[in-house]
Amino acid sequence: MAAQKIALITGGGSGVGRATALALAKAGWSLVLAGRRQEQLDAVAKEAAPAEVLAVRTDVGDDASVQNLFAKVKERFGRLDLLFNNAGTFGRNALLEELTYDDWKNVVDANLNGVFLCTREAFRLMKDQDPQGGRIINNGSISAHVPRPNSIAYTATKHAVTGITRSTSLDGRKYNIACGQIDIGNAATEMTAKMSGGVPQADGSIKPEPKMDAAHVADTIVHMASLPLDANVQFVTVMATKMPFIGRG
């Protein structure tokens, strides 16, 4: 019988996180779902049945909350095979000069500090478990490459996630920890719902943008997670084919 595989998904209550949780459950993984809203986590846990699921209300930008999450993972499962750093927010849409420090900090806490805190705790668990090692997948974005208008906080954090991915990949070698990044473009989720009605473009116009099913992102993550630890998808982009990325600007 194959050994139980444990995956932790932050932002697991909706969107890409939910789609990934259901895909991993279908592939035979046990799940830990982390997010701010317990009722949404519990709903996904029911959808993922009969997979074993632990749902933990967590603020990934808070050190104590993240440490509590990983303590529960260790207590329940004793190990972790996959961390999907997915939680994040676009933040308030505002002109750069009107963005407040609180606006900036809220995005940095969710998108950047959360990735660091979860990665650090995953390292602590994965380096000491037997067999040693595991995999970390970071949710980047098309914005890890090019910005949208009025998105300085989101764009800065997503560029920084790429740096975290590279450092994690390097520093994880000695512990058999693999790290890769998935850059997602216009997956159909709550975050992209407004795109059908039109969103700002670099030339100042407002235009609708095509979207793709979030299941395609989830299927890619399942593939990345299924590889042996001596193989790694370092970076991959999954996007709506006709979205304005290639040629943007």
So which residues are the catalytic ones? 154
SS3 149: coil
pLDDT in tens, 89-121: 989 888 999 999 999 999 999 999 999 999 999
CA atoms within 13 A on the CB side of 185: 21
Nearest Cα neighbor of 57 from 71, 41, 43 is 41
Q: State the CATH number of the domain containing residue 198.
A: 3.40.50.720
* Amino acid identity for residue 163 in this structure: G
Nearest Cα neighbor of 7 from 61, 63, 76 is 76
Q: Is residue 245 part of a domain?
A: no
Tell me which residue range forms the domain holding 12. 6-239
Sequence-distant (6+) residues with CB within 8 A of 163 are none
Q: What's the number of domains the chain is made of?
A: 1
Q: Is residue 85 part of a domain?
A: yes
Cβ–Cβ < 8 Å for 22, 51: no
Residue 197's pLDDT is 73
* Amino acid identity for residue 98 in this structure: E
Q: Is residue 244 part of a domain?
A: no
Digit-by-digit pLDDT tens for the chain (249 residues) are: 357 899 999 999 999 999 999 999 999 999 999 999 999 999 999 999 999 999 999 999 999 999 999 999 999 999 999 999 999 998 988 899 999 999 999 999 999 999 999 999 999 999 999 999 999 999 999 889 988 888 999 999 999 999 999 999 999 999 999 999 999 988 877 766 677 678 878 778 888 788 889 999 999 999 999 999 999 999 999 999 998 888 654
Q: Is residue 37 part of a domain?
A: yes
Q: Is residue 249 part of a domain?
A: no
Residue 243's pLDDT is 86
Cβ–Cβ < 8 Å for 224, 182: yes
Nearest Cα neighbor of 134 from 70, 74, 85, 81 is 81
pLDDT in tens, 115-149: 999 999 999 999 999 999 999 999 999 889 988 88
Q: Is residue 246 part of a domain?
A: no
Residue 1's pLDDT is 37
Phi and psi of 116, rounded to 5°? -60, -50
Residue 152's pLDDT is 95
Nearest Cα neighbor of 135 from 125, 144, 145, 150 is 125
What sign does the CA torsion over 225, 135, 9, 183 have? negative
Residue 194's pLDDT is 75
Distance, in Å, from the CA atom of 26 to the CA atom of 47, rounded to the nearest integer, reads 11
Q: Is residue 248 part of a domain?
A: no
